[in-house]
Chain A
Amino acid sequence: SAVISQKPSRDICQRGTSLTIQCQVDSQVTMMFWYRQQPGQSLTLIATANQGSEATYESGFVIDKFPISRPNLTFSTLTVSNLSPEDSSIYLCSVATAYQETQYFGPGTRLLVL
């Protein structure tokens, strides 16, 4: 299984600012995904981070609000822009390899917007 780290682990931000979250994997992976998990809720897929091309966003999520980069096969960033208190959530990245049908998740980034 892949070992995944996320930075920062938590942050408190002011409304109107942005936060960039980093996801680093210890091996090359085919797929990388970003999820949001609001307090007490299930996980919601934000987008698939595609290496070398624009991310694929799920319904209800747009690039202007959640720009994503994936410069190589081991690293991705998610930026949450123009923060509002409604963005307070846990953001998780996950990965999948070419030969496995399972996802491995990072520890998450807990964001609080004041």
Chain B
Amino acid sequence: LAKTTQPISMDSYEGQEVNITCSHNNIATNDYITWYQQFPSQGPRFIIQGYKTKVTNEVASLFIPADRKSSTLSLPRVSLSDTAVYYCLVGDSVHYGGSQGNLIFGKGTKLSVKP
């Protein structure tokens, strides 16, 4: 299973774009890249998932370069409510379970958004 490395923390101000990069140098051919958001006292919430190039949904964009050894979660115009911990997961399939699947969380990035 690919190991991920993220910055431990990031600070931003309301209205700014925030980019959080995750390194996964030993990503395998079949691995997906998935990002989750977790607020205090809540379970993680799915944000976005991708395999290559760019993926965009209503809350974020995910940029994946051609070599797939890193990925960048982009949050446009953050607000105070985006203060949370963001996790990058890399794995083959959640249906494989455990260490073979998409189920190993790294340490995450604590994003603090200030007014």
Q: Which A residues are within 8 Å of any B CB, using their own CB?
A: 1, 4, 30-31, 33, 42-45, 48, 56, 58-59, 92, 94, 96, 98, 100-108, 110
Contact = CB atoms under 8 A, between A and B. Distances in A.
Interface residues of B, number: 24
A104 B99 contact: no
Contacts, number: 64
A10 to B, nearest CB: 10
A101 B98 contact: no
B63 interface: no
Contact of A102 (B34, B106, B107): B34
Given A102-B34, A107-B42, A56 B105 contact: no
Contact of A103 (B41, B42, B94, B98): B94
A96 B42 CA distance: 18
B84 interface: no
A94 B43 contact: yes
